Amino acid sequence: MSAYDTAPGVAAAIDAFKLPEKLGFGLVNAPVMFSAEWHDGCWGRGQLLPYGPIEVWPGSRALQYAELVFEGLKAYRVGQSKPSLFRPEENCRRLQRSAERLSLPPVPETLFFAGIEAVTSACSAIMPTRSGQSLYLRPFLFGTESGYLLRNSVSFRFMVIANPVEAYVSGVMNVAIERTDVRAAVGGIGAAKAAANYAASLRASSAAIARGHTVALWLDGTEHRYIQELSGMNVFAVIDGELHTPELDGAILPGITRDSLLMLSRSRGFKVHERRMAIDELLAGIQKGRVSEVFACGTAAIVAPIAVLADSDGHEYEPAHTDVVARQLRDALLAIQERRAPDEFGWTKEIATTK
């Protein structure tokens, strides 16, 4: 017996789907989605459905109180007959940790993989296959009960939607150091992949974009001194030829790309440091030429170079190099993800296809 049901219309939705030339990142929706509901203390059977609008009560806690956590991972099918995922168990564990932080019921591993595999397998024939392209999967879990009482919902929904995507090129980034707003503080929900963290970041992100920057760089919530991360990516610096990244302080999102880069660079003989990194030390290091490069990482862009760090007083700091170490790491990681290079860490997981 299959681990989920398939609704009428799924085959027709896939047949009718044409992969457009221009994919962007999130512009194109995959024609199917997965949904399972939690009622009376247990998860119901999952269903694969044609992609479309869903009904949600206006008073649901997901809408009123941001009772929602999510994940992001990619399925690749570049020069392979079957799609494969990159470290999906890590996404499953992180979704469980995020759920735990918001006291939502955890999505069991079997249900998580039923959803991921249903969508990936149904989409395998329509997945883009050029290097850098992939099927971006977005699992999410939210509270569906209406009501204003400040407690968790008693009903929940787990869904997986997907988008065929290009290699996400942010170009070379120009980041705006955010000295006023705080994305997340220790004790809060910064380490959970919760929608509400993004809400906290939107004002600074939009203001940064309006001033011609790419994205905001966040500092710690207590002293406004230590580097956390970008709104959706972790940060690294190359200092005196060694890699440095802020240590996970409880407010930083523990990125799977971050963890993979740490493992990959250690295995290639790089010296790697996870530590508290003061923004002023980084900026002084750029001026002295000791910080040769700064870059960001996350599932979407993999590794993205940062050319400029702009301070709130208008000063701009430019590391000597952009995209030297970053490019090496991006190429090495993408080659593993696309299964062109030996998977020395056992990171990729092949998905069976229905057809």
Ligand X SMILES: *Cc1c(COP(=O)(O)O)cnc(C)c1O
Q: Pick one of 234, 245, 292, 322: the residue that binds ligand X (CB under 6 A).
A: 234
Residue 25 CA: distances (Å) to CA of 74, 118, 146, 241, 308:
12, 21, 32, 33, 23
* Angle at CA of residue 117, ends 115 and 122, nearest 5°: 100
Q: Pick one of 253, 277, 279, 325: the residue that binds ligand X (CB under 6 A).
A: 253
178 sits near ligand X (criterion: CB under 6 A): no
CB of 353 to ligand X, least distance (A): 25
Report the distance separating Cα 342 and Cα 348, nearest Å: 10
CB of 243 to ligand X, least distance (A): 16
Q: Pick one of 139, 143, 255, 285: the residue that binds ligand X (CB under 6 A).
A: 255
Nearer to ligand X, 78 or 233 (CB): 233
Nearer to ligand X, 183 or 213 (CB): 183
229 sits near ligand X (criterion: CB under 6 A): yes
- Dihedrals phi, psi of 259, to nearest 5 degrees: -60, -40
What is the three-class DSSP state of 206?
Answer: helix
Burial 58-87, CB ≥16 within 10 A → b, else e: eebbbbebbbbbbbbbbbbbbeeeebbbbb
221 sits near ligand X (criterion: CB under 6 A): no
Q: Which amino acid appears at position 194 of this protein? A: A
Q: Pick one of 232, 246, 285, 305: the residue that binds ligand X (CB under 6 A).
A: 232
205 sits near ligand X (criterion: CB under 6 A): no
Contact pattern for ligand X over residues 60 through 79, marking x by CB under 6 A: ------------x-------
Q: Pick one of 77, 193, 244, 330: the residue that binds ligand X (CB under 6 A).
A: 193
What is the three-class DSSP state of 127?
Answer: coil
Count the neighbouring beta carbons within 10 Å of the beta carbon of residue 1. Answer: 4
Report the distance separating Cα 184 and Cα 195, nearest Å: 12
Q: Pick one of 96, 134, 174, 299: the residue that binds ligand X (CB under 6 A).
A: 299
Q: Pick one of 174, 257, 265, 292: the residue that binds ligand X (CB under 6 A).
A: 257
Nearer to ligand X, 257 or 322 (CB): 257
Q: Pick one of 175, 233, 277, 286: the residue that binds ligand X (CB under 6 A).
A: 233
Nearer to ligand X, 125 or 195 (CB): 195
For the chain, percent helix, then strand, then coil, each to nearest 5?
Answer: 25, 30, 45
* Angle at CA of residue 52, ends 50 and 56, nearest 5°: 125
Greatest CA separation for the chain = 64
Nearer to ligand X, 119 or 252 (CB): 252
Q: Pick one of 164, 285, 298, 319: the residue that binds ligand X (CB under 6 A).
A: 298
Choices 135-143, 254-262, 309-317, 325-333; region in contact with ligand X by CB under 6 A: 254-262
220 sits near ligand X (criterion: CB under 6 A): no
138: left (phi over 0), alpha (psi -120 to 50) or beta: beta
Q: Which residues bind ligand X (CB under 6 A)?
A: 72, 193, 229, 232-234, 253, 255-258, 298-299
